[in-house]
């Protein structure tokens, strides 16, 4: 009779500890989880949204005549919208317009759309960078909390790490252990049990997708992503060393010079053009070279920046295997650097695949729908968690799972905490803060009980 409590005590302590972790993790990141899910779900369809809202700018009637040369199209755009030519986007398809990015005297960049067949300027819009429009630029900034600067980046990174812990602890709590709870489908019940089942079952079916979204977003983070970049480069699994050894380079990272680069190239320096022997290479010549190289339609061609700058063509199509970056000397038009997905190391390729999948590109509509459902599930998880907490929360109290008087932290929890802190430094830091607060609250509670006794 005395063996049962002894044998069950550790399991009970472990369960309660995991429950508390799950509770605090959800409490910490629930607002961020909803923000990332909603904005991420919208951004999955940025191209479709941009095509609808800017249809008169982006689409043209295909003609039997050949398109005008790039030099003529950019000249028409500059005549209608004076400024400095920054980038040129050849038409991605016969029914698409050409896009010309121009910086005005005030420094504001706009995208001017031109009919490639007759040179008619269709209109202009504020340059949204890789987002394609002001609205999608806003959604992207909210998704990454770039409005808050470095602090926003750290918050998103910590939230991604806590999402991993939420899934792990959630699976542990979901395990039925002989209880009459919803496992693979919610029970026919109501009230808090129904919300519990919706929360548990939804989390079980979408846990892997949430883990994928968390891990595939981490390369952009400031702490985890930076260390992952250094490791992948150091061991030769990101961008193999030696690519730049034959070319002089600038001190400007590619991530700052271009709207978008492969993640593994963001910190690599931009190459520089050779000595000037005359006028820069003609835009028509550069575009012809890129077309001859077979660069996927829809690429962006950034103009050289300064006397030593280079032409840079980059494309990130839905078919991630066609991803490519090409640098060309601005005076001779000679190809200085041509890199595709296969030129990256295993970690670099994995990161690019992850980015493409994360943004809903790699497998088209199917990719978008699956991740949209995952985002909707994340919102349902957050809402159901909030409802469960509200229904069980005592008046005037936080409603966290209680800690027994003789509670001891299980060794398994300590091991997990250490591993989580090593792999996710910001999670480890926040764990220390939560643990410190927990100890203070527990000590204060014991002190009050002893005084009352």
pLDDT of residue 245: 57
Share above pLDDT 90 across residues of the chain, in percent, rounded to a whole number: 38
Distance separating alpha carbons of residues 226 and 211, to the nearest angstrom:
20
Residue 133 reports pLDDT greater than 80? yes
pLDDT of residue 299: 94
Structure tokens at 90: 């050849």
If pLDDT is split at 50, 70 and 90, which confidence band does 1 have?
A: very low
With beta carbons less than 8 A apart as the criterion, state whether 337 and 279 touch: no
If pLDDT is split at 50, 70 and 90, which confidence band does 453 have?
A: low
CA-nearest of 101, 111, 100 to 72 is 100
Distance separating alpha carbons of residues 285 and 291, to the nearest angstrom:
10
State how far the alpha carbon of 298 is from the alpha carbons of 89, 98, 301, 352, 442, in Å: 7, 10, 10, 18, 60
With beta carbons less than 8 A apart as the criterion, state whether 324 and 294 touch: no
CA-nearest of 208, 202, 204 to 164 is 208
Question: Of 308 and 265, which is predicted with more confidence?
Answer: 308
Minimum mean pLDDT among 77-86, 132-141, 183-192, 194-203: which range?
183-192
Question: Of 390 and 243, which is predicted with more confidence?
Answer: 390
With beta carbons less than 8 A apart as the criterion, state whether 182 and 201 touch: yes
What residues contact 411, with CB distance under 8 A and at least 6 apart?
none
Residue 3 reports pLDDT greater than 70? no
With beta carbons less than 8 A apart as the criterion, state whether 217 and 140 touch: no
If pLDDT is split at 50, 70 and 90, which confidence band does 7 have?
A: very low
pLDDT of residue 179: 65
With beta carbons less than 8 A apart as the criterion, state whether 336 and 310 touch: yes
Distance separating alpha carbons of residues 282 and 297, to the nearest angstrom:
20
pLDDT of residue 436: 74
Q: What is the mean pLDDT of the chain?
A: 83
Structure tokens at 245: 């050894």
CA-nearest of 111, 105, 100, 104 to 134 is 111
pLDDT of residue 337: 86
| Residues composing the chain | 453
CA-nearest of 279, 285, 302 to 103 is 302
pLDDT, average across residues 56-71: 95
Backbone conformation region of residue 408, classed left if phi is above 0, alpha if psi is from -120 to 50, else beta: beta
Q: What is the pLDDT of residues 172-216, one digit of tens each?
A: 777 776 566 656 777 777 777 788 888 888 888 888 999 999 888
Structure tokens at 255: 């991530």
Q: Dump the DSSP string for 388-439.
A: HHHHHPPTTS--PPP--TT----HHHHHHHHHHHHHSHHHHHHHHHHHHHHH
What residues contact 262, with CB distance under 8 A and at least 6 apart?
323, 325, 339, 344, 348, 351, 352
With beta carbons less than 8 A apart as the criterion, state whether 84 and 101 touch: no
Return the DSSP state at 320.
Answer: G
Structure tokens at 392: 């069980």
CATH of domain 55-132: 3.10.450.40
Question: Of 203 and 52, which is predicted with more confidence?
Answer: 52
Q: What are phi and psi of 110, to 5 degrees?
A: -125, 155
Residue 356 exposed, middle or buried by CB count within 10 Å (0-12, 13-18, 19+): buried
CA-nearest of 134, 65, 67 to 98 is 67
Q: Hey, which residues does 310 pair with through a beta bridge?
A: 329
User: Helix or strand or coil: residue 328?
Assistant: strand
Scored b (16 or more CB within 10 A) or e, 361-388 reads: bbeeeebbeebbebbebbebbbebbbbb
If pLDDT is split at 50, 70 and 90, which confidence band does 140 have?
A: very high
pLDDT, average across residues 308-334: 91
State how far the alpha carbon of 25 is from the alpha carbons of 28, 306, 316, 400, 430, in Å: 5, 49, 35, 11, 10
If pLDDT is split at 50, 70 and 90, which confidence band does 347 have?
A: confident
With beta carbons less than 8 A apart as the criterion, state whether 356 and 364 touch: no
User: Helix or strand or coil: residue 3?
Assistant: helix
Domain with CATH 3.10.450.40 in the chain: 55-132
pLDDT of residue 182: 58
pLDDT of residue 246: 63
Q: What is the pLDDT of residues 408-429, one digit of tens each?
A: 555 666 677 777 777 788 877 8
Q: What are phi and psi of 273, to 5 degrees?
A: -80, 160
With beta carbons less than 8 A apart as the criterion, state whether 409 and 431 touch: no
Angle (nearest 5°) at CA 46 between 302 and 94: 60
């Amino acid at each position: 009779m005395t063996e049962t409590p002894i044998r069950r005590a550790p399991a009970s302590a472990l369960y309660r500890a995991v429950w508390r972790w799950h509770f605090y993790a959800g409490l910490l990141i629930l607002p961020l989880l909803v923000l990332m899910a909603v904005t991420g779900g919208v951004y999955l369809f940025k191209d479709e949204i941009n095509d609808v809202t800017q249809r008169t700018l982006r689409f043209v009637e295909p003609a039997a005549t050949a398109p005008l040369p790039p030099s003529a199209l950019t000249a028409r755009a500059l005549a209608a919208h004076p400024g400095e030519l920054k980038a040129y986007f050849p038409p991605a398809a016969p029914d698409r317009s050409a896009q010309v990015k121009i910086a005005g005297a005030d420094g504001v960049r706009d995208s001017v759309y031109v009919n490639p067949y007759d040179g008619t300027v269709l209109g202009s819009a504020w340059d949204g960078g890789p987002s394609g429009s002001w609205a999608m630029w806003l959604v992207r900034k909210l998704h990454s909390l770039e409005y808050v600067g470095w602090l926003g980046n750290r918050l998103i990174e910590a939230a991604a790490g806590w999402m991993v812990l939420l899934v792990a602890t959630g699976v542990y709590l979901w395990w039925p252990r002989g209880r009459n709870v919803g496992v693979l489908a919610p029970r026919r019940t109501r009230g808090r049990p129904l919300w519990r089942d919706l929360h548990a079952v939804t989390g079980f079916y979408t846990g892997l997708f949430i883990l994928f979204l968390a891990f595939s977003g981490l390369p952009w983070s400031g702490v985890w992503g930076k260390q992952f970049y250094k490791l992948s480069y150091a061991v030769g699994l990101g961008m193999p060393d030696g690519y730049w050894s034959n070319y002089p380079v600038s001190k400007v990272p590619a991530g700052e010079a271009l709207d978008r680069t492969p993640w593994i190239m963001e910190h690599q320096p931009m190459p520089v053009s050779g000595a000037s022997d005359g006028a820069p290479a003609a835009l028509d010549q550069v575009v012809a070279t890129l077309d001859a190289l077979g660069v996927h339609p829809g690429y962006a061609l950034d103009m050289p920046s300064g006397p030593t700058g280079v032409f840079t063509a980059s494309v990130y199509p839905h078919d991630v295997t066609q991803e490519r970056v090409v640098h060309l000397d601005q005076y001779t038009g000679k190809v200085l650097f041509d890199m595709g997905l296969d030129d990256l190391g295993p970690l670099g390729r994995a990161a690019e695949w992850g980015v493409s999948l994360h943004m809903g590109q790699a497998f088209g509509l199917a990719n978008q729908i699956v991740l949209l459902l995952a985002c909707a599930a994340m919102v349902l998880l957050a809402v159901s968690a909030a409802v469960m907490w509200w229904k069980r929360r005592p008046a005037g109290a936080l409603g966290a799972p209680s800690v027994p008087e003789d509670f001891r932290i299980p060794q398994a929890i300590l091991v997990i905490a250490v591993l989580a802190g090593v792999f996710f430094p910001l999670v480890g830091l926040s764990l220390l803060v939560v643990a410190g607060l927990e100890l203070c609250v527990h000590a204060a509670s014991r002190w009050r009980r002893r005084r009352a006794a």
